[in-house]
Amino acid sequence: TNPKASAKPRSKSTKRGGGAAKGSSQESHEPSSAPPGFRTRGGRVTKPTKKLNTPKVSQ
């Protein structure tokens, strides 16, 4: 209902909520449907199976 919120939609805030549920702060910046071998901001290639383990190990 806030005009300011509608003016600038925060995609990061929405993804951050989903990322927080998974417990990975790095993945929050990337889309959940990232394809295999998707390069994260940390420069690490996320594996489809170890998608949740990769950010925890890098930290």
pLDDT for 5-26, tens place per residue?
566 655 555 555 554 455 544 5
For the segment 29-41, the average pLDDT, to the nearest whole number, is: 55
Q: In Å, what is the CA distance from 34 to each residue of 43, 44, 57?
A: 14, 13, 19
d(CA 52, CA 17): 15
pTM greater than 0.95? no
d(CA 24, CA 5): 25
29: nearest Cα among 21, 38, 40: 40
